Chain A
Amino acid sequence: MSEPLLELKALDVFYGPIQALKQVSLHIQEGETVSLIGANGAGKSTLLMSIFGQPRASAGQIVYRGTDITHKSSHYVASNGVAQSPEGRRVFPDMSVEENLMMGTIPIGDQHADEDMQSMFELFPRLKERRNQRAMTMSGGEQQMLAIARALMSRPKLLLLDEPSLGLAPIVVKQIFQTLRELGQSGMTIFLVEQNANHALRLSNRGYVMVNGEIRLSGTGAELLGNEEVRKAYLGGH
């Protein structure tokens, strides 16, 4: 097996006295779509943020493209091709849609900005309609699209998505997962955190299940979808 694009080795992360991640190990190969599923509060979002060192791991190691990034700054990680659409979307409230998208181009400069912005507008026509509107005035779903589009603007090697389906109408969810499938097929490496396990696992090559800050199960998407424990806990048991 070739060297993984991203590997977490026995990661421990604390929020004050509370241990959020316990000995978490996982790896993502280049070109894979991998999902991480688990209940609310299991530590999924913490895991994504810890890749950027926020918060820092107190033990363990994060290796990205062969480099130990455990103690690197967030902007170093971003500058090397990791982009995230984070929990809570975190679009810049006082900036227009276009300005928010421009913020995504910081790691690569703005030489592709116009072209990429056009493709984002094709992907999410709603954003085009609202291109000059301030992000704070948009609905949750529109902000979610903006957060994903902003992450894509950096042409990332590794795309981290935290609950991209949260707050979206079922039709938009379908559309977003279709988009992710296309991105995955075009060779982008995607690490997807979802409560919507059904959608996520169907899309993914592999998946991990997180419970209380620990990786409980892992396997291919199909294996996890067929697993009795997973079905009971995350797929509504039927």
Chain B
Amino acid sequence: MDGIFLQQTINGLTLGAVYGLIAIGYTMVYGIIGMINFAHGEVYMISAYLSAITLAILASFGLESFPLLILGTLLFTIAITGVYGWVIERVAYKPLRNSTRLAPLISAIGMSLVLQNYVQISQGARQQGVPTLLEGAFKLHIGEGFVQLTYTKVFILIAAFVGMALLTYVIQYTKLGRMCRATQQDRKMASILGINTDRVISYVFVIGAAMAALAGVLITMNYGTFDFYAGFIIGIKAFTAAVLGGIGSLPGAMLGGLILGVAESQFSSMVNTDYKDVFSFSLLVLILIFRPQGLLGRPHVAKV
């Protein structure tokens, strides 16, 4: 196999796993309240800042071991980002629950701007960065060249996989998961069976934010830099992944993320890096034309 192709596939899977993690937030929120949470990209962006802040704090205590650093960063970032998810839903969407369909969408765009500006003012407009935490790489010689798999990428793939597996388990096999699915399938009936559906919706926002936080920590590890605007493009990419996989479908979000990541990486190496975003969004347009329900989504059936 061509070394470059393999290298780009590895890069693409890493990127795609992260898209998938963020796409989960879009798809779960859409599934449960039928809205696109346009502020979700900003939740990811905030988690990137939080991970840098945590790393700085932990390092200032003299912590140097990678497992402890990353564990502390993950726990803290996921917890605080989860709180952000909860607050965003409370402030911007819950009061509009029984309003028109368009109202929460507009509120989401507003929330997205508020969060961008809040971070810009509180953290500054300059690009921020963290040093590389995990040095080194596996090298695999193929013909003339070699394929490089950095430890960071290995860690990202494992962490993203564990995150997705954990979430799948929770949704499929726990009481909380059943409550989420019931609320998604028939909110009124769920409440008649004794489920506090408002609380379940809050949980879904917290879960989505936690997954975005995991993505935030992982991307920060890999690329090292971010700014207050970082949530926009990656948010739309993750949204594309969610639509590609079939919005509302959890496995769809993960699959859509991986496919988009690999497609984008291959396009970058084979055609042109500058146009990779154009390529991704062209893909979105094509899906919407030819398979609007996405790969794993089902065609929309009106409820009777």
Contact = CB atoms under 8 A, between A and B. Distances in A.
For chain B, what secondary structure do more than half of its interface residues adopt (helix, strand, loop), or is it mixed? helix
Nearest to A102: B178
Interface stretch (A29-37, A103-111, A205-213): A103-111
A106 B192 contact: no
A184 interface: no
A25 interface: no
Contacts of B190: 103
Given A88-B304, A103-B178, A110-B175, A73 B191 contact: yes
Contact of B193 (A73, A99, A154): A154
Contacts of B304: 88
Contact of A95 (B175, B185, B191, B196): B185
Nearest to A93: B185
For chain A, what secondary structure do more than half of its interface residues adopt (helix, strand, loop), or is it mixed? loop
B188 interface: yes
Given A99-B178, A110-B175, A75 B185 contact: no
A143 interface: no
Nearest to A54: B188
Interface in B139-187: 175, 178-179, 181-182, 185-186
Contacts of A84: 192
A228 interface: no
A86 interface: yes
B182 A103 contact: yes
A154 B194 contact: yes
B189 A52 contact: no
A225 interface: no
A52 B178 CA distance: 22
Interface residues of A, number: 25
B182 A104 contact: no
Contacts of B191: 52, 54, 73-75, 78
Contacts of B73: none
A99 B192 CA distance: 16
Which range contains the number of B residues in contact with the other chain? 10 to 19
A88 B189 CA distance: 11
B176 to A, nearest CB: 11
Which of A74, A99, A104 has the most B CB atoms < 10 Å from its CB? A74
A78 B193 contact: yes
Contacts of B186: 90, 92
Given A92-B182, A95-B182, A75 B189 contact: no
Contacts of A110: 175
A106 B186 CA distance: 15
B27 interface: no
A86 B192 contact: yes
B195 interface: yes
A114 to B, nearest CB: 15
Which of B175, B188, B194 has the most A CB atoms < 10 Å from its CB? B194
B192 A78 contact: yes
Contacts of A74: 188, 191-192
Interface in A47-92: 52, 54, 73-75, 78-79, 83-84, 86, 88, 90, 92
Contacts of A102: 175, 178
A90 B189 contact: yes
Contacts of A88: 304
22 contacts: A73-B196, A74-B188, A74-B191, A74-B192, A75-B191, A75-B195, A75-B197, A78-B192, A79-B194, A86-B189, A88-B304, A92-B182, A92-B186, A92-B189, A94-B181, A95-B182, A99-B178, A103-B190, A103-B195, A106-B179, A106-B194, A107-B194
Interface of A: 52, 54, 73-75, 78-79, 83-84, 86, 88, 90, 92-95, 99, 102-104, 106-107, 110, 150, 154
Given A54-B191, A95-B178, A106-B179, 11 more contacts: A54-B192, A75-B194, A78-B194, A84-B192, A86-B189, A92-B181, A92-B182, A95-B182, A103-B193, A104-B193, A154-B193
Interface of B: 175, 178-179, 181-182, 185-186, 188-197, 304
